[in-house]
Structure formats: C-alpha cells, structure tokens
Amino acid sequence: MAEPDEARRFYARLMAAQARSADPRIEEVFASVPREAFLGPGPWTVFAGEGRFETPSADPTYIYQNVLVVLDADKGINNGEPMLHAMWIGKVEPKPGEAVTHIGAGTGYYTALLARLVEPGGSVTAFEIEADLAARAKANLARYANVEIIQGDAVANPLPPSDIIYVNAGVVAPPAAWLKALKPHGRMVFPWRPSETVGFAVLITRLENGFACRPFMGSWFIPCVGASIAGPGAKIPTRERAARTRSIWLRKDKAPDRTATAVFGDVWFSSRAIRADSAR
C-alpha cells in the first residue's frame, strides 16, 4: 500500500483531472483536506465496483479512491463519489470571497473543500437536516472559521444570498426561494430527479434576464425532504425532454409556454436557451 499522504496526492491529481478546470487550487484542496477526518474511525464500509464491502483495515489509502463511503446505512446516506464532486466543483467554479450555501452537508467533507476554495474572504453556510450528521459536521469543521453549520431543513428555512448553491439531495425542482437566493451571476448545481426514471445533475446560472439551465451528467442522490415529490398538476418530463432543458423560470415572471419541458408549482423548465444579451 502507498503511504496515506502519497495516496492523497495521487487522488488529488485524479480529482483535478476529473474537474476539467484550469484552477490549480482544486488539486491543492483535495490534497490538503484529509477525507478520513470526516468519516469516523475505520475500517469503513464502501461501495465500489459491483457492491458494498468493508475495507480490510483503517488504512486511509482505501478511501483515496472513487468510492462511496457509508455514513448512515439505514437511511442510505453516503459520503458521495469524489469524482462526481470534483466535476461539480469544476462546473460551479468557486472563487475567493464568494458565499456558498451547501445543502445536504453530511459530515462536512465536501463543505470543507468548498470552504477552502472560497478563501480568503468567502464563507459557506451548510444545511444538514439529520441531527447526528449535523453534529458530526460541526465537530469536523470546528477549525474552519468561514463555515456555519445549520441543523435544519433548507426547503423550509431561508437561504442566505449566495454566489453558489451546492445541493446534495434530489429534487423534482429547485424551490423558487433557492433561485431567488442566487446573486447575479450566481451558480447552482443540483440533482434533478423529476421521476424515478430521470436523474440529471443540472447547472443553473443566474443571468440578468433569467436562469440558464444545463443538464450535464447522470446523477442519483437520496431525496431532499420537502422538495422531492411532484404536486398536483405537475408536468413531468421524459428523460429526452429533460435533457433538452436550457432555462428555468419562475411562474410569476413568465407563464409556461410551448417550450416547457417540465412544470412543478412555481417553477418550470424550458427548452429555450437564454443568452446574456438576449434582453438587449
């Protein structure tokens, strides 16, 4: 086995390559934040290849792989795949001084990466609805002065104004309040799960004239409490229609039209693309 520090440095190089970003800090943060510090004592139960197994020992080298690590087996809560998160982080491009809201923080590993990427001057507000996980996240992140952990429901509670909203629980649609919390040019990445057969990671960017929306990869997360069930009158997309989505709208700003690919309450999705200068 490689030494843990050597394994983490190699892991960090792989994550940076997966992020497909020119930002060298992504490799730096994956190399500097010890994943094992957020997982509890090993051995760990992981998902890799075709199933679930326990690592042979508490050697951290085992978790510097692209593996899910179980946090709460009964509730199906895991510390997610690092390669997926590397790609998401590359998409939202955290910058020093930005304000991030992390929804579904778990025990705080990816919160820590985001916190490092918005230093200096930036902050992370992290929501975790599960009380035991939130308590672990608070303990794990006690050294991070720019992180606030809120044990609570991010659907029922207001979000702070955010440059980035990073969502780690599946929703049928992002609540209107989340869209409103995005600052100008703010980005949101979330798992879109409008049905049992459709699951995409989606990047939203707030432009001056609307919200650009781009599904960019398959994605499956546990459901987000309060935002994972379609209400009456919802228009649920097929996978093909969902993949064609290019913008998202608040119904109060614009009524659904023939371009609608999906409609969920106050929010609807459209196949119409938005350009930054399209309102000029």
Amino acid 278: pLDDT: 45
Residues 23-52 have pLDDT tens digits of 999 999 999 999 999 999 999 999 987 789
Amino acid 3: pLDDT: 66
Amino acid 245: pLDDT: 97
Residues 178, 200 contacting (CB under 8 angstroms): no
How, if at all, do strands 162-167 and 99-103 pair? parallel
Q: Kindly indicate the confidence band of residue 277, based on its pLDDT and cuts at 50, 70 and 90.
A: low
Region 189-210: what's the mean pLDDT?
Answer: 95
Q: Kindly indicate the confidence band of residue 279, based on its pLDDT and cuts at 50, 70 and 90.
A: very low
Amino acid 121: pLDDT: 98
Global pTM reads: 0.94
Query: Could you give the percent of the chain with pLDDT greater than 70?
Result: 97
Residue 273 has pLDDT above 90, yes or no: yes
